[in-house]
Amino acid sequence: MFKKFLTGDKSKKNGISTKCRRDTLHSPSDVALTEDKANIRGTLTYPFQHLAEADTKSEYADEFSNPNHPFGDGNDKIFGMENFGNTCYCNSILQCLYYTSEFREKILAYPHKNPHLTSRKRKSQVLGSKTHSFIAYLNNQTQNAQNTNAAPQTSSSDNGSSSSKTKSSSRRTSIFGLKRESTTVDDQCSQIQLQESQHSGNSFNSADVFHHENSGLVVKYPNFKNIKFIPDIVNQQNNITVVGAVSDISANSDQRKKQALVNGPIIHLDQSFHDEYGLKLSLFTVMKDLFECMAENTSSYGVVSPVKLIEILKKENELFRSSMHQDAHEFLNFVINSITEKEEGSTFQGIFEGLLTSETKCLSCETISSRDEKFLDLSIDLTKDSSITNCLKNFSQMEMLNGSNKFYCDTCHSLQEAARTVKLKKLPKVLALHLKRFKYEEALQRNVKLFHRIAYTKTLRVFNTTEDSAELDKLYELYAVIVHIGGGPYHGHYVSLIKTPLFGWLLFDDETVEAINEDYVLRFFGDGVGLATAYVLFYQELQEKYHMNFSLYSDHPNETFLGG
């Protein structure tokens, strides 16, 4: 439901940004990484080795006809996002917002400028004001390896002992084999020990995706062919790894996340370009930085490190300053509120924003009073073994106000029993449904997670339930799901499943991205094996031509109806 947040002290001065090194792809020391490290670490591949695959669009914005998206609208990009300890709540929501097409396009286009008066260089590579700590670590590893090769050889027994100690240390200190407890990238990378591969070269001893059950994904979405770095490999979950692929088919999630950073390229956003936009530093400007750098990068895939965004988020809202597990829905609500309530708000109104009408009928004088209220998402109470349809119907169910919860009637001038109904008056283009899986348990004196089975469908028809609505209904299509993995509200992990226009359904898990089958999306009703449950559902309005087609077939198996 629509919610206000207290922001931090706005009297603090904004950080001063420095100009990013956008003119060069990488430093000379980075260039040396590729060839040297390939010989040192077996099959592990290193940052920037695939820059030759970069697209050939112009470096300058004013050579293109569309001033709002001079380097494309970004829908052909696939980037994972680095986790800084417990920022999966942020990463999962940001991915959903990026693939909300109208939202992303308006972020990229704002503020509007005359292309004939202003030109700028493309953010083709963003390395940050400082070298990313992971790249710095790899540089150090390369230098150490070169020094070792130049040093006199020691006895074989000493080498064996040293090698054994190194591998043992690797197993103990690697953050990719342990829970992420570090809160900074520097802390994480100080612990990283690269594991040697059992293979050599770049051969992949695994199943070819074209002979796999998910081979239809590659055939159905030909844009996968443009991402030449995808190896013909499937992981343990039988999904095709797009970002973070490793040669070992048995590699776990943490190993793939590590490889995603190794593969690169890494978009290192440790500063903001707000001066370039003519705007003050804010959560909006760092989100624009994120979207713009992803959309304009010369690579089609990689990993983005949103350092500045996390910094500004913590400054603007103390709720997110803790390194503890955070709530993805709270972050979604805060982000959309922050954008729509500022001067940019009119540009983004109508995407997520809808209108509710609360009608209250006094049972004494039968006077009906009504009040309109904006909403950015609908928080839905859950019942056991139900569906999203029934939960939405309960949302609009009549509520009795009595006892200590009586209604003050202006006509009766006293507290009276009343009946209240919440109705949908105006539906948004994007309907975000928050499934209230965390509930306070009186007996336990704490919040618990509800594992009720809540079935959701790929399409959803929702009717406005007020008599003065401008339109009768909207037909929606499911395009994103936030999944919470964990046994309670105070710990766990978030991932996002997103339907992209060029690549179909993708699973975004921090640094890694996987191509998944469409049926995989319907595995998170709440009664499956494990602790993974759908937490936030994103439905987008279908175009009128699809609307008419679905209207002819009301018994469509994937469609849910909600009436008043």
Q: Which residues contact 90 (CB under 8 A, 6 or more apart)?
A: 306, 309, 310, 313, 320, 326, 328, 331
| Cα distance between residue 18 and residue 405, in whole Å | 56
Closest of 384, 394, 391 to residue 527, by C-alpha: 384
The active-site residue out of 88, 362, 391, 409 is 88
Tokens representing residue 289 in the block: 């930085």
The overall longest dimension of the chain from CA atoms, in Å, is 98
Asked if the bond preceding 265 is cis, omega within 30° of 0, the reply is: yes
**How far, in Å, CA of 375 to CA of 21, rounded?**
41
Annotated active-site residue 493? The verdict is yes
Got the DSSP string for 83-115? --SS-HHHHHHHHHHHTSHHHHHHHHHPSP--T
Residue 178 has a CB neighbour count (10 Å cut-off) of 12
Q: What is the DSSP letter of 363?
A: T
Phi-psi region of 52 (alpha: psi -120 to 50; beta: other; left: phi over 0): alpha
Q: Name the strand (E) or helix (H) holding 462.
A: strand 459-463
Q: Are the C-beta atoms of 532 and 434 separated by less than 8 Å? A: no
Contacts of 165 (CB under 8 A, 6+ apart): none
Sequence-distant (6+) residues with CB within 8 A of 265 are: 47, 48, 51, 125, 297, 299, 302, 303
The backbone torsions φ and ψ at residue 441, rounded to the nearest 5 degrees and listed phi first, read -100, 115
Residue located via tokens 């109806």? 561
Amino acid at 347: T
The rounded distance, in Å, linking the Cα atoms of 490 and 55 is: 43
Q: What residues contact 192, with CB distance under 8 A and at least 6 apart?
A: 134, 137, 173, 174, 175, 176, 258
User: Within 13 Å and on the Cβ side, how many CA atoms surround 362?
Assistant: 16
Burial 108-121 (b: 16+ CB within 10 A, else e): bbbeebebeeeeee
Give the angle subtended at the CA of 189 by the CAs of 187 and 191, to the nearest 5°: 80
Cβ contact 465:370 at 8 Å: no
How big is the chain by its Cα radius of gyration, in Å? 26
Please give the helix or strand (H or E) that residue 463 lies within, else none: strand 459-463
CA distance 151 to 93: 50
* Tokens read off for 400: 């009795």
Strand-pair category, 454-455 with 386-387? parallel
Known catalytic residues are 88, 493
